[in-house]
């Protein structure tokens, strides 16, 4: 069975081993299809995949940061020991107030500012939960 997702991380269809495809529709923030057995579990499966991926990748990312490397999260976003980089702009990690997911974007807020310093499309960030953990926690 394989699941396709949209940019917001919501399941859009499921392909079963026999080749049948079910399209998902959204009603009051709940996924509904003709077959309910996968719907109730899909969110838990997605959360578990994110947790395990983050758990497995964090030690390597922290090791790279400890050696002074800049770790890339997609084409434009990267993090080093002291800063978050978007292309050539950087925000010192000490100045980061918060990193949050909102409406399909990761918003990075600088201390003392109400508007995001940067907005990055969530779908463009590989392993976004690893990125969010790294920028939200200074040490492993």
The conformational region for residue 104 under phi > 0 = left, psi -120 to 50 = alpha, else beta, is left
**pTM for the model:** 0.68
- Distance between CA atoms of residues 52 and 129, nearest Å: 10
Residues 77-95: what's their mean pLDDT? 94
Cβ-contact 61, 130 below 8 angstroms = yes
- Distance between CA atoms of residues 122 and 105, nearest Å: 5
Condensed to tens digits (0 to 9), the pLDDT of residues 113-129 reads 989 999 999 999 999 99
Number of domains in the chain: 1
pLDDT band at 25 (very low <50, low <70, confident <90, very high): low
Cβ-contact 46, 31 below 8 angstroms = no
**In which domain, by residue range, is 104 found?**
2-136
**pLDDT in the model for residue 9:** 63
**pLDDT in the model for residue 53:** 86
């Amino acid at each position: 069975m394989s699941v396709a997702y949209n940019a917001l991380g919501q399941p859009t269809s499921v392909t079963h081993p026999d080749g049948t495809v079910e399209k998902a529709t959204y009603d009051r923030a709940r996924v509904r299809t003709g077959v309910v057995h996968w719907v109730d579990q899909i969110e838990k499966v997605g959360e578990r995949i994110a947790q395990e991926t983050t758990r497995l990748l964090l030690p390597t990312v922290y090791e790279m940061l400890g050696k002074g490397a800049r770790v890339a999260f997609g084409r434009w976003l990267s993090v080093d020991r002291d800063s978050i980089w978007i292309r050539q702009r950087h925000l010192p990690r000490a100045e980061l107030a918060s990193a949050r997911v909102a409406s399909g974007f990761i918003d990075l807020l600088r201390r003392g500012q109400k508007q995001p310093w940067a907005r990055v499309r969530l779908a463009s960030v590989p392993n976004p939960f690893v990125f969010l953990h790294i920028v939200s926690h200074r040490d492993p």
